[in-house]
Every structure is written in structure tokens, then in C-alpha cells.
Amino acid sequence: MPECIKCGEFTKFNGGLCSKCYAEKQKTNDKSYYPKENDVRADNGGLTDRDYNYRYGMIKGRIAETLVQELFLALGYSVFRYGMENTIPGIMELLKGVRTDVANEIRRMPDFVVQNPKNGDVYFVEVKFRASEEFSLKDLPKDYPYRNAYIILVSKKHIKCVTVEELEAGEQITPSSRNYLGNRKEFDLDKQTIIDFCDFAVQFFQTV
């Protein structure tokens, strides 16, 4: 799903700002909202600013995905990359700027299917990074079809989890909420292992 390069919230376009961060940038004229300020190519070559921001956001997301993937693998789970980018490599690059129903459905596919080694149960998992440690229903795309998916939120300090159905019921992830991944009974994960992976998150995201 396209995410704001400043706060990680849902936005319409990859490499851009959500409405809240854009309004704040306009108000404060804070150039730090973008790793690069304008969508122009420097005289000495390199990425355009739009591509720079897009890659920057993608890398943050991929680090969070890898943390969660390795966490489940360390605990004996089978982990399958589910998103269309993994089925057809490069398709997300081809879909940049394409705004059709099919393209939107592809973007909304969960990142993983994970299987519990103890009982064989399988789950859809969508991974997000949020420096703010906040996630609510408004952060999902409108009419998100995977109501049985689990949203795993990686932040600088914690790894938390909420289902789409819980979001629809009004629950949300906040810095003070206690919906930690280790509390999900259906996963039955070792809490110390999760703490170890939270330490990894601190190291990887401390300057983000």
C-alpha cells in the first residue's frame, strides 16, 4: 500500500506525503519532510527526487517485512511471501502511477501467509513500519478486502498486532496500547524472541 514518506500513514501515491504531513509541511515550510525537496534530477545524475523518496519508503518497508519474516521463521513457522510483487517480480514498478481497480487490488494484497507449526493454521499478515507507533482503520485503504488479515506494526520500540476486524470495531495501535504481538494467543509466540527482534528494530530504525 502506498505510504507517506514522513510518517508512514496511507497515502494515494508512493513517494509522497499524506494529507496531514503535507499540510504541516506547507504550514512550517519544513524541508526535512522530504529526503530531497523537489522532483528534479541533479546535474550530476542520480535518482530524481520522486524516485529517491519512493525507494526510501520501499527500503523502510522491506526492512520491517524482513524483521517479521525472520521472527516467524525463527519460531518454526512456515512463511510464504504472498504479495503480487513476490509472485510477479517487478510488477509494482510497472504499476507506478496506474490507478485502476485491478492495480489497486494488487497493491492491497497482504505481504505474507504464515502457517503455525503446531496446528497448521494459516494467517494473512500485512507488515507496516510506523515511527509514530500508530495505526487505525483510517490507515487502511477504503474497502480493504482482507478482513481476516493481521496487521503487524513495527516501530522503533515495539512490535504490535491488530486484526482488520478489530480495527473495524474501533481498536487501534497507539504508543500506549498493549496489543503486542506476543499477546496474540493464536500465534503463541515466544515473548523473549520478540523482544530480541524489537532490539533489531531499534538498531535499524533509530535514525528514521
- Provide the pLDDT for residue 124: 95
Lowest mean pLDDT among 19-28, 31-40, 147-156: 31-40
What domains does the chain contain, in order, with CATH numbers? 57-205 (3.40.1350)
The pLDDT-based confidence of 138 (bands split at 50, 70, 90) is very high
Q: For residue 87, how many C-alpha atoms fall within 13 Å in the half-sphere facing its CB?
A: 10
Gap between the Cα atoms of 143 and 73, Å rounded: 31
Q: Is the pTM of this model over 0.85?
A: no
Calculate the alpha carbon distances from 108 to 87, 130, 153 in Å.
14, 18, 16
Would you state the cell numbers that stand for residue 203, as one nine-digit string? 538498531
- Sign, CA torsion 49/61/23/168: positive
Calculate the alpha carbon distances from 75 to 81, 150, 164, 170, 193 in Å.
17, 18, 24, 30, 8
Using one digit for the tens of pLDDT, what is the confidence trace for 168-201? 999 999 999 999 999 999 999 999 999 999 999 9
Quick check: helix, strand or coil at residue 164? helix
Using one digit for the tens of pLDDT, what is the confidence trace for 139-169? 998 888 899 999 999 998 899 999 999 999 9
- Give residues with Cβ within 8 angstroms of 108, minimum separation 6: 1, 141, 144, 145, 146
Gap between the Cα atoms of 171 and 163, Å rounded: 9
Would you state the cell numbers that stand for residue 72, as one nine-digit string? 516467524
